[in-house]
Structure 1
Amino acid sequence: MPDFYSAYWWLFLLRGIFALVLGVLAVGWPGATFTTLIVFLGAYLFIAGLFAVAGAIAARKTNENWGIFLLSGLLGVILGILTFYNPFATGAALIYVVAFWAMLAGLFELIIAIRLRKVITGEGWYIAGGLLTIIFGILLVANPVAAAVTLTWIFGIYAIFTGIMLVLLSFRLRSRS
């Protein structure tokens, strides 16, 4: 009996082709791709919110925390609707969240690097990485439009590499069967 991976090698091929197409679109048309990703995020938030609301209502007699699930679901529905209403505001908010995360992560890297000075040598590289992460966050805030393009390009390059790896993996799996 052939193993699952060899028998279904074509699933990896399809995933790889999809990732390659998505990656090329993201690199070639970053504005349209970013907007599309935001709209998909809104659809996900809305649909997942509806399911959470339905689950909370169904669990109200058996789960004492059903109110939290209801609140979470309603928040998802509201965020989904707001995303459909104004995807650009959601995209900007996403960029600011990523920027804030980068600045906070960079700050934590600096703190850790300073604490590591007593334990290791060469902590300067970790300090440099923390500073670069903070600068990256500041640049995202300074120019959100360029940030959207840059983040989409990074996503696109990641998707292209992932697609290539999946296609190559599928051929290797196919040769095993």
Structure 2
Amino acid sequence: MQASPTTYPPGAVRMRPMLDALARNWWVIMLRGVLAILFGVLAFIWPGITLLTLILLYAGFAFADGALSLIAAVRGGTPTPRWWLALVGVMGIGVGVLTIFYPQITGLVLLMFIAAWAVVTGILQIYGAIKLRHEIEGEWWLVASGVLSVVFGGLLVAWPGAGALAMVLVIGSFAIIFGGLLIGFALRLRKHAAVRI
């Protein structure tokens, strides 16, 4: 006997476990966005920054962003799969630790680590948005941040020999736009969390 599909009365709130888990922690995603914007602004206003200093600064950002992603994955409170968010967190922490504790690695190698992190993180965010597409309207914020991250990583791979000024422009611009997209997504999650209360 085939079970009938679940129907919801008018005005009822549907169960959306993955979205609900993220919405409860919207503030963590907001912090990621604010941190990215602060990093981007700092990259632009810091006079005479060297490429190595910029990369180390970015490593600190990657570490903090990874820690916040891991918190969002662990604090979900439901058994819904959030492995993609946890993987984003572990990768960010890994890149941050590797870069900070092994600064003797050449700037080019560090740049390639950051590029790889950006590409994989972007792909995972796009995956997360695809998983959320049936649960929320406006998942494009997460898709856009993922695409931006992949493009950013691709730019770093395509022009690894660019000067420090060019890297400041690319990395700083990426961080500010990425942060804005994350904040937009966090506000969508906050709106959903308010509706659920």
Fold equivalence (TM over 0.5): no
Whose helix proportion is higher, 1 or 2?
A: 1
Structure with greater Cα Rg: 1
More relative contact order in 1 or in 2 (CA 8 Å, sep 6+)? 1
- TM-score interval w.r.t. the shorter chain? 0.3 to 0.5
